[in-house]
Amino acid sequence: MTPPASNSSSSSSSSQEFVISRTFDAPRELMWKAWTERDRFVQWFGPKGFTMPIAKLDFRVGGMMHYMMRGPDGLEMWGKCIYREIVSPQRLVWVNAFSDPQGGLGRHPLAPEWPQQMLTIATFEESAPGRTTVTIRWSPIDATPAEQRVFDDNHDSMRGGWTGTFEQLEAYLARNKA
């Protein structure tokens, strides 16, 4: 007898997409550059206190950003983004995942039940002259029920992580007005 097929390849209908927005004192063109140019991106992206000493960027649809972040305690985390949509200067869509140093899929080093891949949608809206609102939408891709629960239960943690990242972006923008 064959066991019933599992529905682990789709997201639960009760799951909530994670959404966070912030308005920055920066024109949309500068914001776009901060997100799409490697030398700018590595100066601010990641949780507060982390650096990005390694980053390779192939910025095109189907291209990949492969990077390593280092925490203040020396913890190294590898990640990768595969770009699905690029609409300059208003929208980026990519699949984000933890990876190994060679670019293969990996797992979160501190949370093995974290979804293996996340769909990330970033929009950049000029909310006033010289001000840009960035909105991030995050949802798991092909999550198991356990991964979906971990995602749904950790929105507060994600909010804290993205808030720290946005604080670093804000400091970067204050230093780099052009």
Question: Sorting pLDDT into bands at 50, 70 and 90, what band is 4?
Answer: very low
Question: Sorting pLDDT into bands at 50, 70 and 90, what band is 137?
Answer: very high
Q: Where are the domains of the chain?
A: 18-175
Q: Measured over all CA atoms, what is the biggest interatomic distance in the chain, rounded to whole angstroms?
A: 66
pLDDT of 107 higher than 50:
yes
Token pair listed for 153: 């239960």
> Whole-angstrom Cα distance, residue 88 to residue 115?
28
Question: Sorting pLDDT into bands at 50, 70 and 90, what band is 16?
Answer: confident
Indicate the fold that domain 18-175 takes in CATH: Alpha-D-Glucose-1,6-Bisphosphate; Chain A, domain 4 (3.30.530)
pLDDT at 177: 81
What one-character-per-residue DSSP string does the chain give? -PPPPP-TTS--TT---EEEEEEESS-HHHHHHHHH-HHHHTTT-SSTT-EEEEEEE--STT-EEEEEEE-TTS-EEEEEEEEEEEETTTEEEEEEEEE-TTS-B---SS-TTS-SEEEEEEEEEEEETTEEEEEEEEEESS--HHHHHHHHHTHHHHHHHHHHHHHHHHHHHHH---
Token pair listed for 111: 């949370």
79-100 average pLDDT score: 97
pLDDT of 9 higher than 60:
no
The pTM of this model reads: 0.88
pLDDT at 5: 32
Question: Sorting pLDDT into bands at 50, 70 and 90, what band is 110?
Answer: confident
pLDDT of 2 higher than 50:
no
Between these two residues, 69 and 5, which has the higher pLDDT value? 69
